[in-house]
Structure 1
Amino acid sequence: MINDNQSNLRSDCENCFGLCCVALPYSKSTDFAYDKDGGSPCENLQIDYRCKIHQDLRSKGFRGCTIYECFGAGQKVSQNTYKGMNWRDNPELAEEMFDVFPIMQQLHEMLCYLNEALSLEDTKPIHKEIKKLVEETEPLTNLNPVSILSIDIHSHRSEVNGLLLKTSELVRANVEQYNNQSKKIKRRSDLVGANLRGANLRGLNLRGSLLIAADLREANLQFADFIGADMRDADLRGANLIGSIFLTQAQVNSAIGDINTKLPSSLDIPEHWLS
């Protein structure tokens, strides 16, 4: 059965055992204040699985935490897969739980994109294919831990990606790209620091692009495909992203914007944009 409740595909930290704060590794950088190995709890994780610096993550050097999205995998693994059994009280489950979590994250991410594709008018010709894949993917998220670990996630992602590519083509098919600047970057993936202020980038395929610190102020990014794009510190002030596809809250959180940035209705303006 297709789940239309996208809220299940957004993180709900109150019902998670801090899995991203333990299972995932990170290195000291502009996004994290220190090195952490996978399977080791972050020093800011409290006994109640809440973060003690949640309100000050950016100022304390943990910006990376504010731009991570598990797509609801954390609460799914915590409350469904392991039925409320946490890794602290059940250390024998910890390693397995930490291995299950990133697989669940990928499944939920795929469902998020597929549900978005299904909601688009332009994808009506492939709605049947999308529904079928949603109906194949959702049961995978309800398997037991051993079965989840045996999923050929790469093969499944490849199948999903095929439909997401079709979705992108259908959405962007009738969008005119008449700006010379748009034509120049059509096939470029490395746009780090690019000066694209005010550019007409309607319907551009930005799949997997490196937009780190790119100047996109007042740019027209309507109907652009943002799947997998790295938008850290991309300047979106005054940019128009209405109608863009596969843009996530995490990507928006990683960028710079303001109240004049136009986002799809499904996304929220990050608090740090208003400060």
Structure 2
Amino acid sequence: MNALRADCASCFGLCCVAPAFTRSADFALDKPAGRPCPNLLTDFRCGIHETLRPQGFPGCTVFDCLGAGQKVAQVTYQGISWREAPKTAEEMFAVFGVMRQLHEILWYLTEAADRAPADDVAATLTDVEKLTHADAKTLMAVDVDELRQRIRPLLARTSENVRAAIRGKKDHRGADLIGARLRKAILRGANLRGAYLIGADLRGADLREADLLGADLRNADVSGADLRDVLFLTQFQLNATQGDRTTTFPDTLTRPTHW
């Protein structure tokens, strides 16, 4: 998973320029897509990186490009930034949006290949990885929605295989669990795909081997929760939660700095 970890030093501050920000609880200002954040320095570092949350930018601390930024910067555009070549800026920002989604797909496929190896998963993983090394024109033409449809059954099968032996597992696919009181809940092997767990109390919950693909975990309290061996949990999902030093999670992820 190392290639799917963000390396900001090898990027061109793409996440600080390409997306739009809306003044909200997540961002302290409005910023249109394609315009650099006023906190972005000339060397592409964030000028307030150490104090993002107290200065009103918690959304920045949640975001994770899964390595897409450095792939666009160093592979697609061969180390030439949008500042050095302004005519590439608009295209580069659009390519970043595509690459970010491709790297998310790579994250899921890589986990699927590790958890329940299968020839079709390995072949699809190879295809998508090859695609991320294509030129900008090819990337702009990618139908990401079609690709997601293609991998959905592969990930579903992986989930079913991994969770097959767990008895009494719950099915909460797409469930509205916003603010739910699930403290110390036994959710081992639960299907929580696409579930809305915004602000849910998951303190001390057992979520081992639960499927969290696409689950919305914003401000969910996972203090003391057991997230070992969960399926398809990404860094940006974990970053969106509130946890503590007793929260356990997969080794492929890193502990959020705000916990």
The TM-score range, normalised by the shorter chain, is over 0.9
What amino acid sits opposite 1:21 in the alignment?
C
Q: How big is each residue's C-alpha offset from its partner over 1:154-176, in whole Å with a ceiling of 9 and x where there is no partner? A: 11121112211111111122112
| 1:211–1:232 CA contact under 8 A, matched in 2 | yes
For 2:201 and 2:103, the matched residues in 1 are separated by 31
For 1:115 and 1:268, the matched residues in 2 are separated by 17
Match of 1:56?
51
For 1:189 and 1:28, the matched residues in 2 are separated by 29
Aligned with residue 9 of structure 1, among 4, 15, 18 = 4
What amino acid sits opposite 1:211 in the alignment?
L
- Gaps of at least 5 residues in structure 2 are none
For 2:168 and 2:228, the matched residues in 1 are separated by 16
The sequence identity of aligned pairs, in percent, is 49
SS at match of 1:272: coil
Aligned with residue 107 of structure 1, among 99, 102, 105 = 102
Match of 1:128?
119
Aligned counterparts, 1:118-197, within 5 A: 118-120=113-115, 123-124=116-117, 127-177=118-168, 182=170, 186-187=172-173, 189-197=175-183
For 2:254 and 2:137, the matched residues in 1 are separated by 36
What amino acid sits opposite 1:142 in the alignment?
H
Which structure has greater helix proportion? 1
RMSD across aligned positions (CA) = 1.3
Say whether residues 1:213 and 2:199 are aligned partners: yes
Match of 1:3?
none
Residue 254 of structure 1 deviates from its aligned partner by: 1.2
Residue 153 of structure 1 deviates from its aligned partner by: 1.6
Aligned counterparts, 1:62-101, within 5 A: 62-101=57-96
Q: How big is each residue's C-alpha offset from its partner over 1:189-235, in whole Å with a ceiling of 9 and x where there is no partner? A: 21110000111011111111111110001111011011111111101
Aligned with residue 255 of structure 1, among 223, 241, 258 = 241
What amino acid sits opposite 1:232 in the alignment?
R
SS at match of 2:258: helix
What amino acid sits opposite 1:117 in the alignment?
A
What amino acid sits opposite 1:269 in the alignment?
R
Residue 48 of structure 1 deviates from its aligned partner by: 0.5
Residue 268 of structure 1 deviates from its aligned partner by: 2.0
For 1:188 and 1:98, the matched residues in 2 are separated by 31
What amino acid sits opposite 1:166 in the alignment?
R
- If the length of structure 1 is used for normalisation, what is the TM-score? 0.91
Residue 177 of structure 1 deviates from its aligned partner by: 2.2
For 1:177 and 1:262, the matched residues in 2 are separated by 22
Report how many residues are paired.
259
Q: Which moved more, 1:148-157 or 1:12-21?
A: 148-157
Say whether residues 1:232 and 2:218 are aligned partners: yes
Match of 1:266?
252
For 2:4 and 2:82, the matched residues in 1 are separated by 22
For 1:49 and 1:170, the matched residues in 2 are separated by 43
